[in-house]
Amino acid sequence: MTQAKTGTYSYSARYRWAYLPTLGFLLVVLAILVVDPSILWSGIEPGTRRAATLLAAALSIGFAAAILVRWASPYRFVVGPDALVVQPILGSAKRIPYDQVRDVQVLPKTFMRSVPEVLLRLETGRPVAIRTDISDFGQFERSLRRRLPPEVQARWKEARSA
């Protein structure tokens, strides 16, 4: 494994805060429906109010859960001399020695995945997904790939060319 320049790479602020405006809107709608629905509707039936309140509450909970999952997933990546360090917004950093990476898979862009992802499968623990819209992905990929075991480097190169 050849050594390359170390560096820190992360996603944009848009990735971090994307769902917050939607969540705020849904919470405002929920508050209006609970406190005084006549602000939105005049003459609302109780059944309609109850259904709208439940829908706003369910959507708010769903978006809040999506934000928490996003914030708990790796956000910042540090390519160090002997290990990749992944840091979520919430939670502690995880150090992944390069020799623990046993396989790499490139997941294509799909309807539910807006950009391709690189999935690092580890000897122990959960796989690490890295979206290709990370800052300076080309440099990140080169730096990381050079540090991985040779068989994983070959699979990554093969997956990128496929």
Q: What is the per-residue pLDDT for 1?
A: 41
| Opening angle at CA 36, ends 34 and 39, nearest 5 | 125
Name the region of 152 (left: φ>0; alpha: ψ -120 to 50; beta: rest): alpha
Spans of all domains in the chain: 1-162
pLDDT tens profile 59-114: 999 989 988 888 888 788 999 999 999 998 888 889 999 999 999 988 888 887 78
- In Å, how far are 87, 108, 162 from 118, measured between CA atoms? 16, 9, 13
Q: What is the per-residue pLDDT for 36?
A: 84
Find out whether 104 and 96 touch, Cβ atoms under 8 Å. no
pLDDT tens profile 133-154: 888 888 988 889 899 999 999 8
- What is the four-CA torsion angle of 144, 146, 147, 149, rounded to 10 degrees? 120
Q: Does the reported pTM lie above 0.75?
A: no
2, pLDDT greater than 80: no
C-alpha to C-alpha distance for 63 and 75, rounded to whole angstroms: 18
pLDDT tens profile 9-64: 887 777 778 888 888 998 998 888 888 888 777 887 888 888 988 998 999 999 89
Confidence band (pLDDT; 50, 70, 90) for 123?
A: very high
Find out whether 84 and 144 touch, Cβ atoms under 8 Å. yes
Confidence band (pLDDT; 50, 70, 90) for 6?
A: low
